[in-house]
């Protein structure tokens, strides 16, 4: 299915980034709501993650708007910029997954709550899905990962 986008692949990738960064941003709110007694340093980090995801989503939306105004097909320079944005979005998700792992191992309220651990495991899988899906979109034939 993904390979059918042809010249519009950049728009498809930006659409994925937009959607998943919104999801990740909402996930930070879910964790905060489920763990209101979270340690202050983790609560602050979650807020910072929400801001970072919103910023990445905003960048993807600006590129999308530029592409749509230009007929939907990226210039070579814009394509390179979109690939770089994609790399940043993937790296951001990888770092978020690391943060989720830290939450589960270092936060007493998280460790004590089996329900929130189920939720965090689900959130991690969604971020992992985003990473895999976007890598396939950007490198459908070679399967060369953008990030380790």
Domains of the chain (ranges; CATH) run 2-138 (1.20.120)
pLDDT tens string 70-110 = 888 889 999 999 999 999 999 999 999 999 999 999 999 99
pLDDT of the residue at 145: 54
Contact between 22 and 61 (Cβ < 8 Å) = no
Least Cα distance to 87 among 26, 2, 148 occurs for: 148
DSSP string covering 14-57, please? HHHHHHHHHHHHHHHHHHHHH-TT--HHHHHHHHHHHHHHHHHH
Instruction: Considering only CA atoms, give the Rg of the chain.
Output: 17
The CA distance from 96 to 47, in Å, is 12
pTM (2 d.p.): 0.88
């Amino acid at each position: 299915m993904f390979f059918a986008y042809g010249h519009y692949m950049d728009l498809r990738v930006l659409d994925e980034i937009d959607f998943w960064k919104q999801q990740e941003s909402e996930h930070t709110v879910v964790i905060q709501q489920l763990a209101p007694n979270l340690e202050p340093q983790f609560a602050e980090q979650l807020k910072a993650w929400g801001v970072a995801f919103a910023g990445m989503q905003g960048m993807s939306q600006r590129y999308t708007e530029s592409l749509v105004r230009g007929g939907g097909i990226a210039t070579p320079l814009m394509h390179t910029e979109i690939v770089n944005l994609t790399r940043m979005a993937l790296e951001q998700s990888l770092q978020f997954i690391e943060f989720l792992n830290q939450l589960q191992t270092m936060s007493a309220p998280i460790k004590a709550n089996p329900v929130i651990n189920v939720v965090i495991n689900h959130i991690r899988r969604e971020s992992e899905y985003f990473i895999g899906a976007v890598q396939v979109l950007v490198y459908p034939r070679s399967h060369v990962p953008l990030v380790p």
